[in-house]
Structures are given as structure tokens and as C-alpha cells.
């Protein structure tokens, strides 16, 4: 288009500039809390609670050291009797009159989050995709009612059923287990997965499977070779939504996990340091907690852009 | 290749009967074209043969084996869909290789490569093998779709209006290619179309369908010259056959009980007469390049005849019209003089 000024499809330079400014403004406002958390993670505990807040400060690894270790207060005389510090964290800790007592629970909790979030996402997406395929392709008796029932499981906040679930889990021995949390998050996510995937699979024309079945494949093989590759976009999008929920979930995690299966969300905010909440450690934990989901989203962003099936079947 | 026999096949969708007690025997190496308007049940019939639909009644035998209840995978048929339906996530090569890689065939990659390349040459798509299937033009996509069927040697090829989405030039090119390929392979093909040119040029036999029934089947010549009723008569011929009241025009040899006369262009004689005696006049001339369609209004009916492009008839010319051995239909539209047209000409 050479006549951009009069084009209907191409926005004018002025509206582009306005739109750009708005987007940048929104991005900056959204980023402020993240930047604040990142900054707090790099402050010393005393800088973190200074008032007025310190914008310029000397960065410190104290928050990260506190996050990964437990410490105990010792007298200066005792600290002098110790062998020289073995790493930077030791050095920082000792300069505050503390000694490293051992590793903290952060890594195991983080690992729990990882297993539970990815495990439940995998299950929810796998079950959701198969169920959606069934609803999309076969005459399921009372399909609309069943789909509504599946959706209805999301109509109240999950925490409303917290007490029955708590009692049930106690009886079944699922409290504070990885399996229990995976099943719980799968149950919550599977309804979302069914509905999202049904939309995506409905858009894949049946002709592909029919062609594949005539070409010498069973329905299951056709599903794997023809439907799944084309549903990749939908699967990626669904997985991201499920993962974000399972990764961030707080209420059930507080209620049902306390020890061996505790996830990072209930753990991070209760990191107590010398004389109260250890804000740099909390901020450091939050920063690290954000990374996997950002990486996952970035890795799958190619699939989030629609269009790989565009134009192959004429409607 | 094998012969295919359909006996008393019936398929209903709810209250509508898509295929109604249809029987058809297709011999090995035959090219059968099913002709009919949208909704006549042509596509449903193909899908029944392929095993994509289950018949309510009747039987399907392929190569002498009863396949009525078998899934598509064991029927050994190839299908070209009306829409391209190439696998969009695969390259042209992988699309063509897809049927050969089926676990039921167990071909080696070397054998597959050879067959794919042969087929790619056959449908003239060999220079695009590495392309993504979605990066092709409409004609190229359709050639790949046909190639994906031809890469196999099934009992029968089923083709559902494979050329309908293409432009006229490409359609006529591919039509010729398809005929050439069929002759080369000796393939058995059941082909569905609503395009009479495709039916006339491709078919060894044409089956005319209406409301799920096979109204008539025969060679293109038979169907054109000896239709069993007025419905079949209107399916073939350009311009379309003129259906006129029996007493409108003088004609030789009308069968007893004729209600409607079917006059094809070649049955009509138009003559120039002077003013007062003329019963009709030319109302329109349609220039179609090589010829002209002359519309003549006579006794309240419009008659269309195809004449040479350099005709000296002009609009508003007074003319008279006579018929020479037209087709005669009774009040149901059924033929009265069946077999007569051949005898008289």
C-alpha cells in the first residue's frame, strides 16, 4: 500500500504513535512491582526496610544467602575462633554476626513446586486433549450437559470446597503428598483444558483424520500423526494456562502441604530472619520463582502464534 | 485394482435419505462418473464406499470381499477430497509418502522414495517436493492431493469433485492429465462431479443421481442421446435442453401421450420468414466466442439454440421454429420413445 494516509487497513502514523505510547506506559507500570522485587532481592535487610526507600543502594547478596541457608547468631569471640569463610555467603553472614547453620528448605520446596506444577499440567492437558477430541468427533450422549458439568466445576472458587477436600485428603492419606497435590491441581485444571482444547480441535477439519484413516492408519494413529501436530498451538496455550495456575496456587498449598510436599508459594513469604520478616530473602525467592514460568512461556511463544494450519483446507 | 459392487445401499441422516436403495457394479479399470446436483447423495455414496459412513442397509463388496462393516483401513481405497486436505504440518514429499508409511504397508524408505518420486512426476509436482504443503497454489495443492491417492495402488480411487475448486484453465488441464493417468495405470475410479464437461470427457460410464437414487447409468453417449427422463436430459448438454409443451411447435414423430417435448439445440430448426407468417422472434443473442446462443420467443416459451458465431440472425428478427426428432416425455417426465432417438438418426 503506497497510499497509507488513506488506507483503511493501515493505521495512520499518529494513531500508531499514540498506541505505542500507551503500550509502553502500560508495560512500565506493570514492570514497577517486578523491578521493586528485583531491587529488594539485592538489598541488605536493613536497606530493604529503610524509610524513605533507598533507590540508590549498594547491592548485596545477603537476600540470596538467607534464602538458601539457615543461620544462627553467635558472639564475635566465637566467630573469630572459626576457620576462614569458604564462600561469599559465609563472609556476608559473618559480617552480620551470624554463622551459616545449614541449607534452607528453599531448594526442596522449589523442586516440589516443579514436580507438582509440571506433573499436574501434563495430566490436565493430556486428559483434556483426549476428552476434547472425544467431544469434538464422536456423538457423545448428552454431550452438552456433560460439557456444562465440566465447566460448572469452575463456577465456585476452589477454596469453597477446602474443608471437604481437607477431610478427604486426610482420610486417603493424600495430605502433604506430591500425588495429592498433582491430582488436586489436575482436577481444577482439567475443565479449563477440556474447554480450551475442544475449541482448538473443533477447528481442525475432520477431513485430515478421514484422509489418514483411508491412507491406512487407525483412528488412534491418525490422532497422533495428524491431529496432535496441528493441535500443538492449542496444547501449548492450554499448558501455559494450567502451569500458571498450578505454579502460583497458594490457598490449597497452605492448607494441604506443610512439609515434604510443600510448594514454594506457602514457603517463600514466611522466611523469617533476624528480628522479623527477611524481605530481601522473600524478594530473592520470588525472583527465582518467576523464572521457570517466564522461560516456559518464552519457549512456547512460537506456538502461541496461530497460523500453521492456515490455508490448507478451503472453507 | 478390483471391481466394486454396491447392492441396495441405503444411508439416512435423521429423516433425510441421502442414498436410497442404490445398486451399482463397477468393473475393474472402469472410470465411473456420478453426476448430480448438490444434495443428490454423491458424496455420501463415496463416503460409504470408503467406510467413512456406515450404511443402514445394503452391501458393499470390494474385490469380491464383503466390506460393508469393515473400517476404512482394510478397504484398500484411496480418496481425493473436494477440499485439498493436505496435511498442513508436512512437506509435499511427506504428504505423498504418508499413505505409504502406514504400518499396514510396511514399505522401506527407499521404496517409498522411489514411488513418491514417480508419482510426483506423474502429477508434475516433482520440483516442489521440499515445499511445505501450505506454500502451494490451489492447483499445485490439488495435484498433490491427487498424487497422494495415486501413490498407492488401491482397489478403487474415490474422487469427490477434485477439480471443482480450481479455475477453468487449470480444471481443463488437470482433466486431461487425470484421463491420461487413468489410462496409464488402468485404474478403477469412482468420480463425483456436478460438472457435465468432466462427466462427458472422463467417464467410461456416467451415473446420474437424484435424491439418493441412481436414475440412469450408461455411456456418456447413451446418457446424452437416450435419457430415461427429463431430469437426466437436463443434466447434459449446453445450452441446456429446451423443455416445451407438446403442442407448441410442429414436430415430426411425436410419441403417443407426449406431454413435454425435449428439444436439444440440434433438434431445433430456425428459419427466417417474412413478417406476418412468423410465430416467433429472436429476443436475445448471447455471444460465447466460438458460437452464439440464440434465444427465440415463441408462443410464450423461450427456446435456445446454439448457432455459429457469424450467424446473420439479429435481435427482433421474425423467425419460425420447427423440431426434428426431439425427445418425448409423458406427464411424469419419463421418456416415451426410449431407444427411439438412436433408431431415428
Residue A200 belongs to a domain: yes
User: So what's the pLDDT on residue A192?
Assistant: 92
A93 & A111 share domain: no
A111 & A97 share domain: no
Residue A225 belongs to a domain: yes
Is the per-residue pLDDT at B341 higher than 70? Answer: no
Q: B74 at the A interface (CB within 8 A)?
A: no
Contact: B85, A213; criterion CB under 8 Å: no
Residue A14 belongs to a domain: no
Domain boundary among A69, A104, A139: A104
**Scanning the structure block, which residue is given the C-alpha cell 544462627?**
A72
For chain A, how many structural domains are there in total? 2
Highest mean pLDDT among A115-124, B299-308, B311-320: A115-124
A185 & A244 share domain: yes
Is the per-residue pLDDT at A250 higher than 70? Answer: yes
Q: Taking residues B285-301, what's their average pLDDT?
A: 90
Q: B196 near B163, Cβ under 8 Å?
A: no
CA–CA separation, A126 vs A130, rounded Å?
6
DSSP string, A242-263: HHHHHHH--HHHHHH-SSTT--
- The CATH number that applies at residue A216 is 1.10.3720.10
Q: Taking residues A12-19, what's their average pLDDT?
A: 92
B-chain CB neighbours of A312 within 8 Å are 84-88, 133-134, 141
Among A214, A221, A309, select the one facing B88 at the smallest CB separation: A309
Residue A53 belongs to a domain: no
A223 & A123 share domain: yes
A130 & A259 share domain: yes
Contact: A216, B134; criterion CB under 8 Å: no
* Angle at the Cα of A119 from the Cα atoms of A151 and A204, rounded to 5 degrees: 55
CA–CA separation, B177 vs B196, rounded Å?
17
User: So what's the pLDDT on residue A1?
Assistant: 44
Contact: B83, A205; criterion CB under 8 Å: yes
Residue A149 belongs to a domain: yes
Cα-to-chain-centroid distance, residue A162: 21
Grid cell of A191 as nine digits:
475443565
User: So what's the pLDDT on residue B25?
Assistant: 94
Residue A278 belongs to a domain: no
User: So what's the pLDDT on residue A305?
Assistant: 61
Query: Which residue intervals of chain A are DSSP H helices?
Result: 13-41, 45-48, 62-68, 76-81, 88-95, 106-137, 143-152, 162-172, 178-202, 207-214, 219-222, 228-248, 251-256, 264-267, 279-304
Domain boundary among A104, A139, A160: A104
- Among A214, A227, A230, pick the best mutation site for testing chain B contact (most B Cβ within 10 A): A214
Q: How many residues does chain B have?
A: 345
pTM as predicted:
0.78
Q: How far is CA B173 from CA A313, B117, B139, B163, B168, in A?
A: 22, 21, 10, 10, 9
A94 & A174 share domain: no
User: So what's the pLDDT on residue A304?
Assistant: 67
Complex-level ipTM:
0.80
pLDDT tens digits along B4-55: 999 999 999 988 999 999 999 999 999 999 999 888 899 999 999 999 999 9
A212 & A297 share domain: yes
A182 & A111 share domain: yes
Q: Taking residues A215-221, what's their average pLDDT?
A: 92
Residue A287 neighbours by CB distance under 10 Å: 18
Domain of A231? 107-263+290-308
Contact: B85, A214; criterion CB under 8 Å: no
Tell me the residues of chain A between 158 and 217 that have a Cβ less than 8 Å away from chain B: 205, 207-208, 210-217
User: So what's the pLDDT on residue B342?
Assistant: 45
A80 & A205 share domain: no
A155 & A223 share domain: yes
Q: B221 near B240, Cβ under 8 Å?
A: no
Domain boundary among A75, A104, A133: A104
Give the mean pLDDT of chain A.
Answer: 87
A153 & A248 share domain: yes
Contact: B148, A215; criterion CB under 8 Å: yes
**Scanning the structure block, which residue is given the C-alpha cell 497422494?**
B148
Contact: B72, A213; criterion CB under 8 Å: yes
Is the per-residue pLDDT at A5 higher than 70? Answer: no
A100 & A136 share domain: no
What band does A128 get if pLDDT is binned at 50, 70 and 90? very high
The SS3 of residue A231 is: helix
Among A217, A225, A313, select the one facing B73 at the smallest CB separation: A217
Amino acid at each position: 500500500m503506497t497510499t497509507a494516509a488513506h488506507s483503511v487497513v493501515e493505521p495512520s502514523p499518529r494513531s500508531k504513535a499514540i498506541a505505542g505510547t500507551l503500550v509502553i506506559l502500560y508495560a512500565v507500570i506493570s514492570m514497577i512491582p517486578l523491578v521493586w522485587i528485583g531491587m529488594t532481592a539485592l538489598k541488605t535487610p536493613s536497606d530493604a526496610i529503610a524509610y524513605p526507600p533507598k533507590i540508590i543502594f549498594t547491592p548485596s547478596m545477603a537476600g540470596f544467602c538467607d534464602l538458601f541457608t539457615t543461620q544462627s547468631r553467635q558472639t564475635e569471640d566465637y566467630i573469630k575462633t572459626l576457620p576462614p569463610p569458604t564462600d561469599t555467603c559465609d563472609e556476608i553472614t559473618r559480617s552480620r554476626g551470624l554463622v551459616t547453620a545449614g541449607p534452607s528448605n528453599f531448594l526442596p520446596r522449589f523442586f516440589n513446586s516443579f514436580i507438582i506444577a509440571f506433573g499436574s499440567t501434563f495430566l490436565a492437558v493430556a486428559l483434556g486433549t483426549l476428552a476434547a477430541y472425544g467431544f469434538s468427533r464422536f456423538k457423545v450422549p448428552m454431550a452438552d450437559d456433560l460439557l456444562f458439568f465440566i465447566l460448572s466445576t469452575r463456577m465456585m472458587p476452589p477454596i469453597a470446597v477446602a474443608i471437604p477436600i481437607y477431610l478427604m485428603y486426610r482420610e486417603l492419606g493424600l495430605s502433604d503428598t506430591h500425588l495429592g497435590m498433582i491430582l488436586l491441581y489436575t482436577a481444577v485444571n482439567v475443565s479449563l483444558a477440556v474447554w480450551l482444547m475442544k475449541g482448538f480441535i473443533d477447528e481442525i477439519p475432520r477431513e485430515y483424520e478421514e484422509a489418514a484413516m483411508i491412507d491406512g492408519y487407525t483412528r488412534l494413529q491418525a490422532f497422533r500423526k495428524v491431529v496432535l501436530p496441528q493441535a500443538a498451538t492449542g496444547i501449548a496455550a492450554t499448558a501455559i494456562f494450567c502451569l500458571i495456575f498450578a505454579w502460583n496456587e497458594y490457598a490449597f498449598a497452605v492448607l494441604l502441604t506443610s512439609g515434604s510436599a510443600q510448594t514454594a508459594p506457602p514457603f517463600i513469604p514466611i522466611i523469617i530472619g533476624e528480628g522479623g520478616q527477611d524481605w530481601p530473602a522473600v524478594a530473592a525467592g520470588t525472583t527465582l520463582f518467576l523464572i521457570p514460568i517466564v522461560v516456559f512461556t518464552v519457549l512456547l511463544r512460537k506456538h502461541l502464534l496461530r497460523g500453521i494450519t492456515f490455508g490448507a483446507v478451503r472453507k | 485394482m478390483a471391481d466394486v459392487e454396491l447392492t441396495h445401499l441405503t444411508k439416512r441422516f435423521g429423516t433425510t435419505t441421502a442414498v436410497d436403495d442404490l445398486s451399482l457394479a463397477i468393473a475393474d479399470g472402469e472410470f465411473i462418473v456420478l453426476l448430480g446436483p448438490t444434495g443428490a447423495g454423491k458424496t455420501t455414496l463415496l463416503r460409504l464406499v470408503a467406510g467413512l459412513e456406515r450404511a443402514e442397509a445394503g452391501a458393499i463388496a470390494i474385490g469380491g470381499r464383503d466390506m460393508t462393516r469393515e473400517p476404512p483401513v482394510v478397504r484398500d481405497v484411496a480418496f481425493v477430497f473436494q477440499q485439498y486436505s493436505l496435511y498442513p504440518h508436512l512437506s509435499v514429499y511427506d504428504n505423498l509418502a504418508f499413505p505409504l508409511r502406514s504400518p499396514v504397508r510396511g514399505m522401506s524408505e527407499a521404496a517409498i522414495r522411489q514411488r513418491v518420486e514417480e508419482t510426483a512426476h506423474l502429477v508434475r509436482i516433482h520440483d516442489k517436493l521440499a515445499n511445505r504443503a501450505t506454500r502451494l497454489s490451489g492447483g499445485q495443492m490439488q495435484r498433490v492431493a491427487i498424487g497422494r491417492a495415486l501413490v498407492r495402488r488401491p482397489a478403487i480411487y474415490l474422487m469427490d469433485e477434485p477439480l471443482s475448486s480450481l479455475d477453468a484453465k487449470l480444471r481443463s488441464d488437470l482433466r486431461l492429465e487425470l484421463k491420461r493417468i487413468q489410462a496409464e495405470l488402468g485404474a478403477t475410479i469412482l468420480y463425483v462431479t456436478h460438472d457435465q464437461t468432466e462427466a462427458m470427457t472422463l467417464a467410461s460410464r456416467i451415473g446420474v443421481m437424484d435424491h439418493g437414487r441412481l436414475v440412469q447409468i450408461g455411456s456418456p453417449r447413451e446418457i446424452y442421446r437416450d435419457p430415461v427422463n427429463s431430469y437426466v436430459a437436463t443434466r447434459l448438454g449446453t445450452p441446456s435442453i429446451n423443455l416445451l409443451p407438446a403442442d407448441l411447435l410442429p414436430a415430426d414423430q411425436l410419441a403417443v401421450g407426449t406431454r413435454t417435448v425435449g428439444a436439444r439445440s440440434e433438434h431445433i430448426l430456425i428459419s427466417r420468414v417474412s413478417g406476418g407468417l412468423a410465430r416467433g422472434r429472436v429476443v436475445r443473442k448471447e455471444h460465447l466466442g466460438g458460437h452464439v446462443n440464440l434465444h427465440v420467443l415463441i408462443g410464450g416459451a423461450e427456446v435456445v439454440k446454439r448457432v455459429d458465431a457469424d450467424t446473420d440472425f439479429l435481435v427482433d428478427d421474425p423467425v419460425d421454429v420447427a423440431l426434428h426428432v426431439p425427445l418425448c416425455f409423458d406427464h411424469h417426465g419419463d421418456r416415451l420413445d426410449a431407444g427411439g432417438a438412436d433408431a431415428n438418426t
